[in-house]
Structure 1
Amino acid sequence: MPVNTADPDASIEWDTAVVDSRRVDFAAGGDGELVVFLHGWGLSPRAYRSSLASLVNRGFRVIAPTLPGLGGSAELEPSDRTFDGYAKWVGRFLDAIGVNSPVTVVGHSFGGGVAAAVAHDRPTLVSQLVLVNSVGGGAWSHSSGREYPIRQRPLLNWCGSAIAEAIATFPARGPMQLLLDEVVPNAVRNAGSLWRTANLARNADLIALFETMAERAMPVSMLWSVGDQVIPRASFDAIRAALVDPEVHEVRGNHNWLIDDAELFGQLLTHVLSDSATELVG
């Protein structure tokens, strides 16, 4: 099938749903096997429109909701501001748009933690899980080489790495474009939510969830970029060990590599979902 990601708006549409009596914006497009995509911290599905279009143009149907408290969506109630709370919200969102059969769930960064919680809590709803530079490993490696619990990583260190990677993304559109298009509007709309989700992502230790998924033999694939400055390698290794034997693909690039290189993301995810790729991508 010919693939053309030059005009992502031609294959991605924007719609709204009502979840918990509140409007939610989401991206949708395509026909075929359904892929639910969950975006990263400080962003919205609009940051990934070329990547989503790459999947649509390869024959997938894509749904990508704007997660609560980000991209203009209403924040969850205080008691629900956990990965389990986000997972339950995703379930309600899918119910609201009429999705009730097993789907592939793909999560990037913070969205990876949410996707993992969805797969853990609703195993009959998730046929396959794909983690893209996901949070949740519970480990942080200091520059000295020593490993510590992820909760000991300074928040400013985490936020600084995330912002630095955002500045490095979209070089053709200007070094500050992603920051100005996504993170700044998120901060203006709801700075408190941005801060709270940053803390949730920074402290994410979902190892017990990953171990349970391994026991259930849940199909899980991991995509990882070797230049990631946001998610420590120690965290990636911890997730990989907890999952026991996940399919792993490594690529060159930073934390937001799938935004930088939509074509590679589309190619790689197509291989993952078709079980046709068995070697690392370098």
Structure 2
Amino acid sequence: MPWRSAARGGDLEGRLTWSRAEVEGRPASYGVGGPAGLSVVFLHGWGLGSHTYKRAINRLMARGCRVYAPALPSFGGTADLPGEQMNISGYADWVASFMDSVGIDEPVLLIGHSFGGGVAVTVADRHPDRVSYLVLLNAVGGLSGRPPWAWVTAFGREMWPARHVVELVEAVRQDVMANVVRNPLGMMRAARLAQQADLREELTSLRNSGMPVLVLTSEHDAVIPRGAFDALCTAVGTAGQVVYGGHSWLLADPDSFDEVLGAFVDLQVAEHRTTRAPGRAAEVRKLLRGTQVPVHAARSMLRGASPLWLMSEPPEVLAADVALCFPKLAPEEVRAAARPVEGSKAVRLTIAAVDRRGLLADSTAVLAANGISIRRAAATSWRRRHLALQSFVIDNGAQLDEAEWQSLGEELRKMVEVGVPPTTVNPVGRVDVEVQGSGAGRSLIEVKGPDRVGLLSAVSRCFAELGADIESVHGRAAKGLAHATFVVIGDWDAETIAQRLLATAA
């Protein structure tokens, strides 16, 4: 049963699309993609462009990020900066203007690689209100002291020989060749800026301001010497991290990029949901005005709603789900509504029922027993109201006829009355568990593993058997991989849950 935090292909929100914008009165190219979640601005390295990084960017989108990847001035069809602005500060100001042009209205997670890292440092220093967190990957700015010819030659050595030469060449050729043909002079000007960049003063300023910064380099980087990396880390006040690979490690091996930054990005996405939730609750409450949902009930439910659930779907979808809960349900009543997903053959099934431990495990077991494939899952509960609300986007929902829907409804009603046995699951490979945060009687738990029909039921049953109540869950799946985020009542450790999951799924 597919369920994952964001699609790695297949959904429109999982694709990086290419657009044009006007920035400071000049044309600019950029890529954008991902769900309406944490805003990320990704700044590419010298000589490249957004196309080069699309495999790494896809990993960010798959973790729930809305990624904006501009082609910096002089690259990828974006116009040059005016002569007096052709410096690192000019590039930084251009990035801030780009954010205005595309409508980014919140501080972003700013990621910069190589030359883009130097630009990112300056953006954070000159426009600190636009950045929530800064990530520097093999960034310039520590001042290597190398002559320009040695700096450019190092990029050539990066290409050959290389462990992942085929993947690396394929990743960069589209952008590099286009930039060489389109704007060789602009490339050389930017190369000099990168080679001469000494941003230690700006980095020290970031340290003093308390800007959170994550710094990484790679052990075989032939472009940025280790001494320059050490100087950068010293200035910003962090030890930095060293990963395996060359200067372009994230291009050659985007899965390694995902592995290195995955837990960090997941935590940023979760925190973003929490901070944005009050605004989303207000939008849903406004949409419920004039419906059968009492004003005081809507206010009470949304005030106590899980941020994870509030950020799982657009406001109008959440409002329709809440409306299904009224009038108040009878003790053994279950309500279900199936609505088509616009622009696709999928159907969104929403279930409202009196809450109890194991309810999510049972309802998903019913779906699994009917061979129903689920693309997305979102659920929440209100303990004081003894109310549970679950929704599932079903890929093959349009293929079910009226009789099959009626039969499914009967099985769900029976499930509420007497419960159903767990679905047997035999997943391929290991189920990974990460506890991203715990405290105040709640734990945020990430579960990842090979996708199988009934897997969500087995995971949910694991929590029930451990005596843990699920407050909310949001997940999706694609290409055989499942990934879900649970908010579970109680403080839990990853080892206990992982061992139980392995026993449950065996």
User: What are the equivalent positions in structure 2 for 1:251-262 lying under 5 Å apart?
Assistant: 251-262=243-254
1:200 partner letter: L
CA RMSD of aligned residues (A): 2.3
The residue type paired with residue 256 of structure 1 is: S
State TM-score, norm by structure 1: 0.87
Give the SS at the match of 2:221: coil
Aligned to 2:147: 154
Structure 2 residue 228 is the aligned partner of structure 1 residue 235:
yes
Instruction: Specify whether residues 209 and 180 from structure 1 end up closer, same or farther in structure 2 by C-alpha distance, changes over 3 A only.
Output: same
The CA deviation at 1:181 is 2.4
Match of 2:77 among 52, 72, 75: 72
C-alpha displacement of 1:183? 2.1
Residue pair 1:4, 1:54 contacting (<8 A) in 2 also:
no
Q: CA deviation at 1:268?
A: 2.2
Distance change >3 Å, CA 180–CA 270, structure 1 → 2: closer
SS in 2 for 1:68: coil
* Residue in structure 2 matched with residue 264 of structure 1 by the alignment: 256
Sequence identity (%): 38
**Aligned residue for 2:159?**
166
Task: Work out whether 1:57 is the aligned partner of 2:51.
Answer: no
SS of equivalent to 2:129: coil
Change beyond 3 A, Cα 1:169–1:128 = farther
* Larger displacement relative to structure 2 (163-172 or 258-267): 163-172
Superposed displacement of residue 112, structure 1: 0.2
Contact 1:5 1:50 in 2 (8 A): no
Per-residue CA distance 1:83-127 (angstroms, 9 max, x = gap): 110010001110011112111100000000000000000111101
In structure 1, the residue matched to 2:205 is 212
Which protein shows a greater Rg? 2
Task: Give the deviation of 1:205 after TM superposition.
Answer: 0.3
Q: Aligned partners of 1:70 and 1:7: how far apart in 2?
A: 29
1:198 matches 2:191 = yes
CA distance in 2 between partners of 1:75 and 1:190 (Å): 9
Q: Which one-letter code corresponds to 1:100 in the other structure?
A: D
Asked if the contact 1:166/1:179 (under 8 Å) is kept, the reply is no
Aligned to 1:129: 134
Structure 1 residue 20 displacement after superposition: 2.2
State how far apart, in whole Å, the 2-side matches of 1:76 and 1:177 are.
29
Give the CA deviation at 1:166: 3.3
Q: Residues 104, 176 of structure 1: CA spacing in aligned structure 2 closer, same or farther, 3 A cutoff?
A: closer
Q: Distance in 2 between matches of 1:3 and 1:92?
A: 29
In structure 1, what residue type is equivalent to 2:27? R
Shift of 1:46: 0.1
Show CA shifts across 1:177-231 (max 9, x none): 4564222321211111111111100111000000000001110001211110000
In 1: Cα distance, 2:261 partner to 2:238 partner: 18
- Matched residue, 2:87: 82
CA shift at 1:165, angstroms?
1.0
Out of 43, 47, 51, the residue aligned to residue 48 of structure 2 is 43
Unpaired segments ≥5 residues, structure 1: 141-149, 278-282
Which deviates the most, 155-164 or 18-27?
18-27
SS in 2 for 1:124: helix
Mapped contact 1:5–1:263 kept (Cα < 8 A): no
How many angstroms does 1:269 deviate by? Answer: 2.1
> Is contact 2:51–2:174 with CA below 8 Å preserved after alignment?
no
For residues 162 and 4 of structure 1, the distance between their equivalents in structure 2, rounded to whole angstroms, comes to 33
The answer to whether structure 1 residue 186 and structure 2 residue 179 are counterparts is yes
1:156, CA displacement in angstroms?
1.3
Output the amino acid matched with 2:259: Q
Query: What is aligned with 2:109?
Result: 104
The residue aligned with 2:242 is 250
Q: Indicate the structure whose relative CO is greater, using CA pairs within 8 Å and at least 6 residues apart.
A: 1
More displaced stretch, 20-29 vs 109-118? 20-29
**Aligned counterpart for 1:223 among listed residues 216, 222, 228:** 216
The alpha-carbon deviation at position 4 of structure 1 amounts to 7.1
Q: Which moved more, 1:44-53 or 1:13-22?
A: 13-22
Asked if structure 2 preserves the Cα contact closer than 8 Å seen for 1:37 and 1:64, the reply is: yes
Provide the C-alpha distance between the structure 1 equivalents of 2:64 and 2:50, rounded to a whole number of angstroms. Answer: 19
Displacement after TM superposition at 1:250 (Å): 1.7
Shifted more, 36-45 versus 266-275: the winner is 266-275
Q: In structure 1, how many angstroms separate the alpha carbons of the residues matched to 2:262 and 2:204?
A: 26
5+ residue gaps, structure 2, are 269-435, 438-506
1-structure distance, mates of 2:6, 2:233: 32
Partners of 1:8 and 1:46 in 2: how far apart?
19
Q: CA deviation at 1:22?
A: 2.3
Amino acid at match of 2:52: A
Distance change >3 Å, CA 125–CA 6, structure 1 → 2: closer
Post-superposition offset of 1:170: 5.2
Q: CA deviation at 1:169?
A: 7.7
Q: Per the alignment, do residues 211 and 196 of structure 1 end up closer, same or farther by CA in structure 2, a change over 3 Å counting?
A: same
Amino acid at match of 1:268: V
- State the SS of the aligned residue for 2:75: coil
Number of aligned positions between the proteins: 263
1:210-261 C-alpha deviation (Å, 9 max, x unpaired): 0000001110001211110000111100010011135x33210000001111
